[in-house]
């Protein structure tokens, strides 16, 4: 397969098909660009050699043309000098260079056409590499996003088929609710006990104060009775 055919085959590769078959799209894209760049380097070398050959043939054509023109000028000089013999020899030499020029010209035309075709192939290859490089990050991001979505879908499917984890969370939630309720009840009982104790203390103080007043009044009455000389328990005269 020739160079141009190899480039054409590479350019016509179905990138989407390669990506769909690849286990790692990012790796596949990197390898594809690497292959293209490698092919580009090889192609440039081959095209450079073809261009060099074309330039070599072109220089040879110019040389043959120049030689033909020089011998024609010499033939003119010989004719002017009445040296037809020299003029004939000059024209024979001119004819030799003309013949060689005629043989080289088709080769140069074919070589030039081949070089133009290879240059066009190189431009197509470079455009393909540039396009692949621009699309690489986008394609990789799309592939990773699709992979993530697929993984999430699998995880949700597995979780929906296994309710034990959700049941455990529900039980733990109920357990926490019970613990919070008990804690609130304990605080409420402590507050109630504190209020009850405080009320009892005040009741003691109040009852203690009322008894002292009664005893004091009783004592004062007794003292008055004694001062008046009246025996206890008898009425005053």
Domain boundaries, the chain: 3-162, 167-228
Most confident range (mean pLDDT) of 158-167, 170-179, 182-191 is 170-179
Average pLDDT over residues 54-79: 95
Q: Which residue has the tokens 């991001």?
A: 141
The torsion region of residue 14 among left (phi > 0), alpha (psi -120 to 50) and beta comes to beta
Higher-confidence residue: 85 or 136? 85
> pLDDT per residue over 181-206, tens digit each?
888 877 777 766 666 666 766 666 66
Average pLDDT over residues 224-233: 66
94's CB contacts (< 8 A; 6+ apart) are 67, 68, 71, 72, 75
Average pLDDT score, the chain: 78
pLDDT above 90: residue 80: yes
pLDDT above 70: residue 34: yes
Higher-confidence residue: 141 or 163? 141
- Residue 233 pLDDT: 52
pLDDT above 70: residue 162: no
Higher-confidence residue: 12 or 110? 110
Of the candidates 50, 29, 57, the one whose C-alpha atom is nearest the C-alpha of residue 122 is 50
Question: Percentage of the chain with pLDDT > 70?
Answer: 72
For residues 130 and 127, give the distance between their C-alpha atoms in angstroms, rounded to a whole number: 5
- Residue 85 pLDDT: 93
Confidence of residue 237 (pLDDT cuts 50, 70, 90): very low
pLDDT above 70: residue 212: no
Confidence of residue 174 (pLDDT cuts 50, 70, 90): confident
pLDDT above 80: residue 41: yes
**Distance, first Cα to last Cα, the chain:** 158
For residues 114 and 236, give the distance between their C-alpha atoms in angstroms, rounded to a whole number: 159
Average pLDDT over residues 106-130: 89
For residues 46 and 121, give the distance between their C-alpha atoms in angstroms, rounded to a whole number: 12
């Amino acid at each position: 397969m020739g160079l141009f055919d190899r480039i054409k085959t590479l350019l016509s590769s179905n990138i989407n098909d390669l990506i769909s078959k690849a286990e790692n799209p990012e790796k596949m894209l990197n390898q594809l660009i690497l292959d293209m760049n490698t092919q580009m380097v090889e192609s440039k070398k081959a095209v450079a050699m073809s261009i060099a050959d074309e330039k070599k043939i072109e220089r040879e054509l110019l040389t043959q043309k120049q030689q033909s023109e020089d011998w024609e000028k010499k033939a003119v000089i010989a004719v002017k000098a009445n040296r037809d013999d020299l003029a004939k020899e000059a024209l024979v030499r001119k004819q030799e260079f003309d013949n060689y020029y005629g043989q080289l010209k088709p080769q140069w035309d074919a070589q030039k056409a081949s070089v133009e075709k290879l240059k066009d192939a190189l431009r197509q290859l470079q455009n393909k590499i540039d396009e692949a490089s621009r699309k690489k990050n986008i394609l990789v991001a799309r592939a990773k996003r699709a992979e993530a979505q697929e993984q999430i879908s699998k995880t949700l499917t597995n979780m929906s088929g296994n309710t034990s984890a959700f049941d455990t969370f529900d039980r733990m939630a109920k357990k926490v609710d019970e613990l919070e309720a008990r804690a609130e009840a304990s605080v409420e009982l402590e507050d109630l006990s504190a209020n009850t104790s405080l009320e009892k203390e005040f009741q003691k103080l109040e009852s203690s104060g009322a008894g002292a007043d009664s005893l004091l009044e009783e004592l004062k009455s007794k003292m008055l009775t004694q001062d008046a000389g009246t025996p206890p328990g008898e009425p005053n005269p």
